[in-house]
Amino acid sequence: MNNYDASDIGDFINIGTGKDLTIKELADMIRNIVGFKGEIDWDSSKPDGTLQKLLDVSLLNQKEWRSKTTLKEGIRKSYISYTK
């Protein structure tokens, strides 16, 4: 494995779609993809954490890069690969 110093890399660019979703939306998406029929038990006694987890993808957009795979499709492909 190569080791790099941050100063050797240059600008860091967040990779993402620029679209936000809630943890519940993500959990429901995963539940549907894997076919989970049970209930998701939300522990409301725990803190919610950061309200928004959306990455700033402005540098990525400046480079005119766009994701070809949606989050849903990426999770689906990963799940299929994992189960093989």
Identify which has the larger pLDDT, 68 or 51: 68
The answer to whether 72 and 33 are in contact (CB under 8 A) is yes
- Banded pLDDT at 80 (limits 50, 70, 90): very high
For 18-54, write each residue's pLDDT tens digit. Answer: 888 888 899 999 999 999 999 999 888 988 777 778 8
Residue 27 CB neighbour total at 10 angstroms? 13
pTM for this model (two decimals): 0.74
Place of tokens 């998701």: 40
pLDDT of 1 > 70? The answer is no
pLDDT at 4: 67
Q: How far apart, in whole angstroms, are the C-alpha atoms of residue 38 and residue 72?
A: 20
The answer to whether 26 and 40 are in contact (CB under 8 A) is no
